[in-house]
């Protein structure tokens, strides 16, 4: 019998994934040669894509990027994606393969919206994330839990569960 840890190690090795600062594992799979200027003086690839693996019991901490991000579900358990917009409005989507249970195969998070994700199940979830304009760590924010708690005290329980004490 294969343990969850062994299974995760196999998936990480198969797809050549590395630890991601927000949690889980990733590998960039595409970076467009075309570039755009999302802000004056800033050049970005038109689009990027990654594989993103979240083992059961782990989470992608609340963060935001300066571009739109589309999540795609590929394999394994479903993922619950939590978002909080600038006004503090919360929403949740479950991406996965069980469409009869209301899971959807992809979900878009608009630029600047706070997002966190967690697998729903006992194994792991393999997703893809496509970002346009393309992802750059200069456009990535992952503050410490205290900063987000101060901004959105109405979401205290969620933020305590899906943030880290030190930001990235």
The closest alpha carbon to 23, from 55, 48, 49, 1, belongs to 55
Task: Tell me the domain boundaries of the chain.
Answer: 4-39+57-161
* pLDDT tens, residue by residue, 61-113: 999 999 999 999 999 999 999 999 999 999 999 999 999 999 999 999 999 99
* pLDDT tens, residue by residue, 10-38: 999 999 999 999 999 999 999 999 999 99
Is the pLDDT at 1 greater than 70? The verdict is no
Q: Is residue 157 packed enough to be buried (19+ CB in 10 Å), middle (13-18) or exposed (0-12)?
A: exposed
In terms of C-beta distances under 8 Å and separation of at least 24 residues, what long-range contacts does 91-98 make, across chains too?
Answer: 94/120, 95/71, 95/127, 96/120, 96/125, 97/73
For residues 74 and 44, what is the distance between their CA atoms, to the nearest angstrom? 26
| pLDDT score of 165 | 87
Residue 99 DSSP one-character state? G
For residues 137 and 127, what is the distance between their CA atoms, to the nearest angstrom? 19
The mean pLDDT of 112-127, rounded to a whole number, is 97
* pLDDT tens, residue by residue, 140-150: 999 999 999 99
| pLDDT score of 29 | 98
For 111, phi then psi, to 5°, come to: -50, 135
Structure tokens at 120: 């729903």
At the top level of CATH, the class of 4-39+57-161 is mainly beta
Provide the b/e sequence for 74-110 (b: ≥16 CB within 10 Å).
eebbbbbbbbbeeeeeeeebbbbeeeeeebbeebebe
CB–CB of 89/29 below 8 Å?
A: no
The mean pLDDT of 41-55, rounded to a whole number, is 97
| pLDDT score of 168 | 64
């Amino acid at each position: 019998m294969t343990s969850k840890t062994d299974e995760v190690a196999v998936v990480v090795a198969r797809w050549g994934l590395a630890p991601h600062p927000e949690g889980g594992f990733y590998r960039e799979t595409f970076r467009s040669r075309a570039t755009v200027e999302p802000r004056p003086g800033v050049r970005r690839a038109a689009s990027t894509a990654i594989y993103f693996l979240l083992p059961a019991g782990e989470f992608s901490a609340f963060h935001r990027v300066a571009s739109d991000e589309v999540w795609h579900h590929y394999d394994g358990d479903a993922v619950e994606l939590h978002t909080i917009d600038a006004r503090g409005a919360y929403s949740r989507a479950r991406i996965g393969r069980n469409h009869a249970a209301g899971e959807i195969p992809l979900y878009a998070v608009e630029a600047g919206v706070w997002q966190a994700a967690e697998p729903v199940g006992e194994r792991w979830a393999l997703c893809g994330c496509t970002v346009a304009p393309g992802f750059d760590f200069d456009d990535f924010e992952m503050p410490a839990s205290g900063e987000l708690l101060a901004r959105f005290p109405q979401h205290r329980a969620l933020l305590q569960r899906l943030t880290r004490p030190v930001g990235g």
